[in-house]
Every structure is written in structure tokens, then in C-alpha cells.
Structure 1
Amino acid sequence: MSVEVQRGYAKGRAKRREIIDQAMAMFGEVGYRGASLREIAARCGISHPGLLHHFPTKESLLLAVLEHRDEVDIEWVGLDDTDGVVTLRRLVELVELNTTRRHIVELYAVLSAEATSTEHPAHQFFVDRYRTSVDAAVRAYRQAGDAGELREGVDPEVAGRQLIALMDGMQVQWLLDGGATDMVAVVRALVAGHLTVDL
């Protein structure tokens, strides 16, 4: 492969990432339906046809944005860990990370609400994502229970669903009050209250 071709690929990847970043911000600001591909293209300094070269449809851009966000979060949490307490600790740390990236939290809050409609292009993505998130939390609680680190009477299925619901609910409160809510402390308190060991 020539140096020129390699540079072209690198430039294309960089532009694709810029488009995803700008789309992520705009979807968070005005929602998927309110976002315009022309406006996203303008923010990236390219033409509308130039954007369509990378993402031929608005739906393909949306899914690329969501997949990128999940890749970052899954890498952060490490969902394949066999130590339940470690996974639970990382989920609390993910809440802390989210306090530094408001536009991503806005994106998720807006799109997850819009995607309850079966007609929304991200509907199946969010159905699958919630299933994966709940399963990971439940599995972490089960692992903690198997290790003798779960308080008596805590049901892993219930606790896992509570954790995911609380994480999402606290994000909405945090967005609405301009970040005044200490969502990390609230989520940490829930998880710590379920465990017999320090979180």
C-alpha cells in the first residue's frame, strides 16, 4: 500500500471520527429527529454530499454514534470481568466519568426516550443495550453473591435492575439541575448498601 493511500485512509478515518463527534453533540442538543445532516456537515467543514460519502443515511450515522459510545463504555467497565465487585465498582466509576461528558449523557437521555417508539431507527439498539446492561449488572451481583460479598436478602436480579434504573434516572436529574445533583454519591450508596465489603 502506498504512503499516499495510507494517508488517505488516515484522513478519512479522522474525518469520520469528527463527523461522529459532531453528530453526538448535535443529537444530544436537539435529539435525533431535530438534527440535520446538513448542519452536522457544516460543523465539520464539509459539504452535505461529503458527509453522505462517509454515512449514506441519517440512520447509519446515528448507529455509528451509538456504537462508538458503547465501545468506549464497555472498554471502561470491562464487562467480561469475573469479579462482581470489580464490575460494580467500575459501573460507579462510569457514573463519575459521565459527570465529565455532559453532551454524551444528554445524547443518551434524549435518544433512549425517543427510541421507545418501535418506529425509531435506534429502537432495537436500545432494547439490546438495556438487556445487555441489566444482564451485566445482574451477573456482577450474582458473582458478588457467590463470593460471599452480597448482603443477606439482596436479590441479584432485583439489585441489577435497580442499579441500571438508578444510573439512568440520576442522569436525568443531573441534567435538569445543571449538574448540582451528586449522582455518583447516590449510585455508590446504593451499591455499597448491597455489599458486605468496601466498594
Structure 2
Amino acid sequence: MIRESALRAAVDLIARQGFAATSMSQVAEAAGISPSGLAHHFPSKKALLGAVLAYRDVMDNEGGLRLDDEAWTCFDQLVDVAAVNSTRHQLVLLYTTMVGEAVTEDHPAHPWMAGHFRDVLASLSACLIRDQELGRVRADAPVGTIARQMVALMDGLQVQWLLDDSVDMVAILRQYVDDLKATWGTTPSA
């Protein structure tokens, strides 16, 4: 219970003010525990950040991309993630804050962020390549570009949504995925 309370407080504080500006004492105070109580669960600020990012990944990966799915199902799942994210303001804010902070190699979240992008791009590309081999995606489809554009659109829409919650991330992504299917999909063979 104490650990979860501290984790929720850290998610909120880091999302709003960033990792560098968030102190362990602020997290302890927001969680209603002593600094030593916080240190019992998270011995360092870096350990706390690791737990926050792991928590974010668990929340974001519920029903994550499955490589046994058809390519377009993988893309449809990202539209579903956007729908769920439209109800999780703090987690989206945490993610976008980390994107901005973690671009420098000396930031403790840099390896996590680089790994996140690498893994998502690899998963989407693998879905597309497998479906090219099965004849469900055109052979001339620019797999890497399609994967990268999908991630860029999704991340960019999240920023726009944080600034203006009338931005309909789900509708825009749905239209984009439908356009991808129309442009790069093939009629399934019988």
C-alpha cells in the first residue's frame, strides 16, 4: 500500500514537473510518508524513476502488440491504446515529459526511451514484414517508414491532446490506419 501510494505520487509529480525537478522529499510528502519510508521502498531517485517507468509500461502494454496478429491488427491495437490513453491523462503526460527529458544520453530514462522506440518500431515492422510474406501487405510497402510514421503520429497526437483535449486522437489514428490499409494492403488470398 505504501509503495503504491509513493509510486502514484511519483507518477503525478514527474509527469507535471519532470524528473530533474522532482525530489524524493516531494514524493514522500505527496504520498504522506516519511523520507525514510520512501527510501525503504525506493533507495534512490533513479530506482524510483525505474519503478515509475516500469509501472507506465505495464499500464501501456495491457493487451500489447502481438506478433502473431495480422499487420493491420497490430495497427488497430495502437488505435485501441490511443482510446485507453484518452482516459489516462497523467500517464500520457508522464510519457511525453519523459520523451522530452530523455533525449540526452546522460538522462537516466534515456535507455528506457531508446528501448521503447526500438521495440515498438521493431514490432510494427515485424508485423508488416510477416504480412508481406503472406501476401496481405504489398511487397513494395516501405515497412520502416510506415512503422515510424505511425509512432510519430501517435506521439504527436498525444502532445496535441494534452494541449487541447478536443483533439480526437482515436478518430485521427483510425483514419490514418484505414488509409494505410487502403494504400498498402492487399486483398487476402483465398
Q: Could you say whether these structures have the same fold, taking a TM-score greater than 0.5 normalized by the shorter chain as the test?
A: yes
| Structure 1 residue identity aligned to 2:22 | A
Cα distance in 1 between the residues matched to 2:161 and 2:138: 29
**Aligned residue type for 1:76:** G
Partner of 1:8: none
What amino acid is aligned across from residue 153 of structure 2 in structure 1? L
Alignment of 1:20 onto 2:4: no
Which AA in structure 2 matches 1:119? D
After the TM superposition, which of the residue ranges 115-124 and 141-150 deviates more from structure 2? Answer: 141-150
> How far apart, in 2, do the equivalents of 1:57 and 1:80 lie?
36
Q: More deviation in 158-167 or 187-196?
A: 187-196
* Corresponding residue number in structure 1 for 2:167: 181
1:54 aligns with 2:41: yes
Residue 104 (structure 2) pairs with residue 117 (structure 1)? yes
- Mapped to 2, the partners of 1:120 and 1:166 lie a distance apart of 25
How far has the Cα of 1:133 moved from its partner? 1.0
Contact kept? 2:28, 2:38, Cα under 8 Å: yes
- Per the normalisation by structure 2, the TM-score is 0.89
Q: Secondary structure at the match of 2:135?
A: coil
1:66 aligns with 2:50: no
* Unmatched 5+ stretches in structure 2: none
TM-score by length of 1: 0.85
Q: Is the 8 A contact 1:114 1:120 kept in 2?
A: yes
Question: 1:15 and 1:97 mapped to 2: Cα distance?
Answer: 27
2:177 and 2:127 mapped to 1: Cα distance? 11
Report the Cα offset of residue 151 of structure 1: 5.3
| AA in 2 matched with 1:189 | Q
- How many equivalent residue pairs? 184
Question: Which position in structure 2 is the counterpart of 1:194?
Answer: 180
CA contact (8 A) 1:81 1:87 kept: no
Deviates more, 1:145-154 or 1:59-68: 145-154
1:112-147 Cα deviation digits (max 9, x unpaired): 111111111111111111100111111222234334
**Post-superposition shift, 1:80?**
3.9
The Cα shift of 1:25 comes to 1.1
Aligned equivalents of 2:111, 2:62: Cα separation in 1: 22
Q: Residue type matched to 2:180 in 1?
A: H
How far does the alpha carbon of each residue in 1:71-99 deviate from its partner, in whole angstroms, 9 at most, with x for none?
Answer: 22223224343432222211110011100
Structure 2 letter corresponding to 1:149: R
Percent identical across equivalent pairs? 34
Provide the rounded CA distance (Å) in 2 between the counterparts of 1:78 and 1:85.
11
